[in-house]
């Protein structure tokens, strides 16, 4: 049971995943938590990781795959270096989040749900992040920013493209 090594650190991450599985006492109902952990460690869930989880929890791979694809937060594809999540909840929507998304798509050069070919930026949408009081909200690399305008989004994304973290 070996995993294709990724940048030489896969072993350590795999060990961390294994210890999380052990901590969950190999309970099959811990599947969602285990998948969260795996995604935290690897950034996304690829087939070898899913198979490994299935074996460890003694679950059919079909069930693990079914759960991983059912929930929106699990990603089976690698994400970009930077992630821009535009909230499309109702409050953000009535305050023009569709324009923010269009701006993000233009700057990133990829559609919502996709990652730029060079892997620098992923543009995603969220159903509602509960930051409705400061709508429209955008999450840039896990930090929520409120009352955004298209210009704010453009500046941030251009910054990412120009020079790493901003």
Partner 1 sequence: MDRTELQTIGQREQASRKSCRILCCTGSGCQAAHSLDVKSKLEAAVQKRGLGDRIEVVGVGCLAFCGQGPLVEISPDGAIFERVSPELAETIIGELADEAPASGLGRIDRNHPFYTGQLRIVREFSGRIDPERIEDAIALGAYQALEHAVNEMSPAEVVGEITRSGLRGRGGAGYPTGLKWGTVAKMPSSPKYVVCNGDEGDPGAFMDRSVMEDDPHRVLEGMAIAGYAVGASQGIIYVRAEYPLAVARLRKAIQQATRLGILGAGMFGAQFDFKIEIRIGAGAFVCGEETALIASVEGKRGIPRVRPPYPAESGLWGQPTLINNVETYANVPTILRRGSAWFASIGVERSKGTKVFSLTGKIRNSGLIEVPMGTTLRYIVETMGGGVPDGKVKAVQTGGPSGGCIPADKLDVSVDYDSLVQLGSIMGSGGMIVMDQDTNMVEVARFFMEFCMDESCGKCVPCRAGTVQMHGLLDRLARKQATSLDLDRLVQLCHMTQETSLCGLGQTAPNPVLSTLRYFRHEYEALLQPTSPRLARSLPVVAS
Which residues contribute to the site for partner 1 (CB under 8 A)? 27-33, 35-36, 63, 66-67, 70-74, 88-91, 93-95, 126-135, 137, 143-146
Comparing CB distances to partner 1, the nearer of 14 and 126 is: 126
Nearer CB in complex with partner 1: 109/144: 144
Distance CA 54, CA 134 (A): 41
Residue 68 burial (CB < 10 Å; 0-12/13-18/19+)?
buried
Strand partners of residue 85: 124, 139
CB of 56 to partner 1, least distance (A): 13
Tokens of 15: 């060990």
In the complex, the smallest distance separating the C-beta of residue 40 from partner 1, rounded to whole angstroms, is 11
Strands (E), 11-155: 82-87, 114-115, 121-126, 138-140, 143-145
Minimum gap (Å) between residue 11 Cβ and partner 1: 26
Shorter beta-carbon distance to partner 1: residue 70 or 163:
70
Closest separation between CB of residue 143 and partner 1, Å? 7
């Amino acid at each position: 049971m070996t995993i294709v090594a990724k940048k030489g650190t896969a072993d350590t991450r795999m060990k961390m995943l294994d210890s999380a599985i052990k901590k969950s006492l190999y309970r099959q109902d811990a599947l969602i938590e285990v998948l969260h952990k795996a995604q935290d460690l690897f950034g996304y869930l690829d087939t070898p990781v899913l198979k490994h989880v299935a074996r460890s929890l003694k679950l059919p791979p079909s069930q693990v795959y079914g759960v991983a694809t059912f929930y929106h937060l699990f990603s089976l594809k690698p994400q970009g270096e930077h992630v821009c999540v535009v909230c499309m909840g109702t409050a953000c929507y009535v305050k023009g989040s569709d324009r923010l998304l269009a701006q993000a798509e233009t700057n990133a050069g990829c559609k919502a749900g996709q990652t730029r070919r060079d892997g620098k930026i992923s543009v995603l949408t969220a159903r509602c992040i509960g930051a409705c009081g400061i709508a429209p909200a955008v999450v840039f690399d896990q930090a929520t920013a409120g009352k955004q305008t298209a210009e704010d989004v453009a500046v941030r994304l251009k910054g990412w493209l120009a020079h790493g973290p901003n």
